[in-house]
Structure 1
């Protein structure tokens, strides 16, 4: 199981937001937050909470890797 697969399986918010772990190494993590209307803010952009979860998930992937 890859780091990304493990995070999606164990972190409910990563699964809820459909985060995609494209690259995970000890030096770099590339995680994608698909554009989903349910997670937009009041002006139509990505909600800050969703972006925070994206960043937190990327940093967690680096630590685990």
Structure 2
């Protein structure tokens, strides 16, 4: 028990749910933008590096 309302299991489920949602939403937003509006990605260094950084961080953490 972390507190009277939060257990380790609830915290673990919340962590997995939030990170899974992020893993689903990033490509769900990013792929249509790249298909329909590639010029937005090409003009932004941050949007260009975003999938690379996410992929590298995933590889380092697994």
Normalised by the size of structure 2, how large is the TM-score? 0.40
Which structure has the highest strand share of the two? 1
Q: Which has the higher contact order (CA 8 A, sep 6+)?
A: 1
The structure number with the bigger radius of gyration is 2
Normalised by the size of structure 1, how large is the TM-score? 0.39
